[in-house]
Chain A
Amino acid sequence: MIAMAKIFDEADEILLLNQDTEDKAREIIGDRGNHFLKRIEGETAANISACYQCHRCTNACPVSHYMDVKPHQVIRYIQFGWREKLLKSSTIWVCLSCEMCTTFCPNEVQVAETIIHLRNMAAHSSVAPREKQVALFHQAFLESLQYFGRVNEFWLMVALHLKPIVLKEKIQTGTLTEEMALGFRLFRKGKLKLIPRRCKAMGEIRKLYRQERGEMD
């Protein structure tokens, strides 16, 4: 088992450190067989099996430095069926959807779309997001869209900072005052509009939200 693990160099470092043997064995072999791979390929129409690990996606990625699982590894992990490891990764939240990886992949593997799909999966799973602040921002964005149909930057930031986790961290790291100063500066420049414009057809938009939650009407 350990000999095998050596082949998958970066990956197993985390493995050896963090997991007991049983887990390790399961993840290396990938006890789902092809199931996870097939599922992701089916849902995203991304040709994940075509990847030959050339690292071009990772080299093109502007933020691969900040990722724990690099883009080419994401593709490999899917082939292995390592779902939890992917959903727990910071990669799926750090990715900027800049589409460099997809554009320059020689095999047309849709790397960016795959990562976004994993982010979708993580958002609907019980796995806690590794980058909470980023995840909460997306959530706050969709929430404020639900109220106005459009997004007003001022109210979005207010809603985000009212989230206890965000507020706590901003106070702890001392960035709150800094951000309020920036907000005030933007306001003085006339960049922030305090009164949100509302889309009139809110009924239609709320209906989308109900559909998203699987409610029928």
Chain B
Amino acid sequence: MKLAFYPGCSLEGMANDYSQSITAVFRNLDIELVEIEDWSCCGATAAHSLSELMAVTLPARNLAQAEKMGMDIVSPCANCYNRLRASQIMIQKRIFDVPWKITGKIEVHDMTRFLADPDMLERIMTRVRKPLEGLKVVCYYGCQMVRPPRITGYTDYENPQTLDRIVAAVGAKALDWSYKTTCCGASIGIGRRDIQESLTARLLDKARQANAEAVVTSCPLCQANLDILQRNETESTIPVFYFTELLRLAFEPGRASRKWFRMHITDPVPLLRIKELLR
């Protein structure tokens, strides 16, 4: 199986650990990811804040590149996924025309939903060599992956299950909580730190209240916010994993790279040691 991979800008920088764990996990799953040739930024929130034209045309270039390759796109970043889908829909409806040829025939997958497909889950389960037993996590989806449903195609947008299923497939316990899709504040912290901190702190509090030992997410920006802004000295810290890091831990016990965990601000190694998932 071959897929066009659209990494997005943060996977080259802040989320390099995510990027490396994705490569490792997809190798384990025998799925070939071909990076979209000479991809460019999707424009993220900035483009659609300042110019609708840019918001549609910037992602469209990547859609066109992938169509040239003739493969479906898979996107690991929630915001990229949202922007690519939104752009594709606008072009399909002929609301915008773009300087590239786009038929809109290829599909844009978000990575978690792609892997939460029943066939894929089975494939994941066959690869597990050390189930992550006893690890209690809450899955955090954020906004852009699930909302608005008319763009993302999620039907269970109030209580999405994709990450929960994936995490359960590798043996960890996904706890129920009510803040799966509550916004983490995205990039508002750069201009308004107070808003950012209040939103992030609430999520972390609720995760603790649910008795979670870790948060699992798939969005680079959510991970960064939750990981970096654990300021509260009185509370215990709570590691924030990318779901692919957990998959790799289950697939290749002992060989899961310490390098990724060293990139986390909130150190996850003590927890993994207690759970005997890492030596």
Contacts and interface: CB of A to CB of B under 8 A. Distances in A.
Given A98-B143, A103-B149, A199-B39, A66 B48 contact: no
A116 B191 contact: no
Contacts of A138: 45-46, 49-50
Contacts of B262: 189-190
A131 B191 contact: yes
A190 B50 CA distance: 31
A13 B271 CA distance: 53
A120 to B, nearest CB: 6
Nearest to B46: A141
Interface string B167-190: 000000000000000110111101
Interface of A is mostly: helix
A94 B195 contact: yes
B16 A190 contact: yes
B47 interface: yes
Interface stretch (B53-61, B67-75, B105-113, B209-217): B53-61
B154 to A, nearest CB: 10
Q: Which of A96, A112, A119 has the most CB of B within 10 A?
A: A96
A50 interface: no
Contacts of A94: 188, 192, 195
A112 B148 CA distance: 10
Nearest to B95: A45
Contacts of A208: 53-54, 57-58
B10 interface: yes
B56 to A, nearest CB: 10
Interface in A110-158: 112, 116-117, 119-120, 123, 131-139, 141-142, 145, 149-154
Contacts of B57: 208, 211
A6 interface: no
B147 A201 contact: no
Interface residues of B, number: 49
A212 interface: yes
Contacts of A141: 44-47
A195 to B, nearest CB: 10
B12 A152 contact: yes
B232 interface: no
Contacts of A26: none
A57 interface: no
B115 interface: no
B29 interface: no
Interface string A43-76: 0000000000000000000110010000000000
A37 interface: no
Interface of A: 62-63, 66, 93-94, 96-100, 102-103, 112, 116-117, 119-120, 123, 131-139, 141-142, 145, 149-154, 160, 175, 182, 185-186, 189-193, 197, 199-201, 204-205, 207-209, 211-212
25 contacts: A63-B195, A94-B188, A94-B192, A97-B49, A98-B143, A98-B183, A102-B147, A116-B48, A132-B191, A133-B190, A133-B192, A134-B191, A138-B45, A139-B46, A149-B40, A149-B41, A151-B9, A152-B13, A154-B13, A189-B264, A199-B39, A201-B61, A204-B99, A208-B53, A212-B51
Interface of B: 9-10, 12-14, 16, 38-41, 43-54, 57-58, 61, 99, 143, 147-149, 157, 182-183, 185-188, 190-195, 199, 228, 262-265
Given A103-B157, A150-B39, A150-B41, 12 more contacts: A62-B199, A94-B188, A96-B143, A98-B147, A116-B48, A138-B49, A138-B50, A141-B45, A142-B50, A149-B41, A192-B14, A193-B16
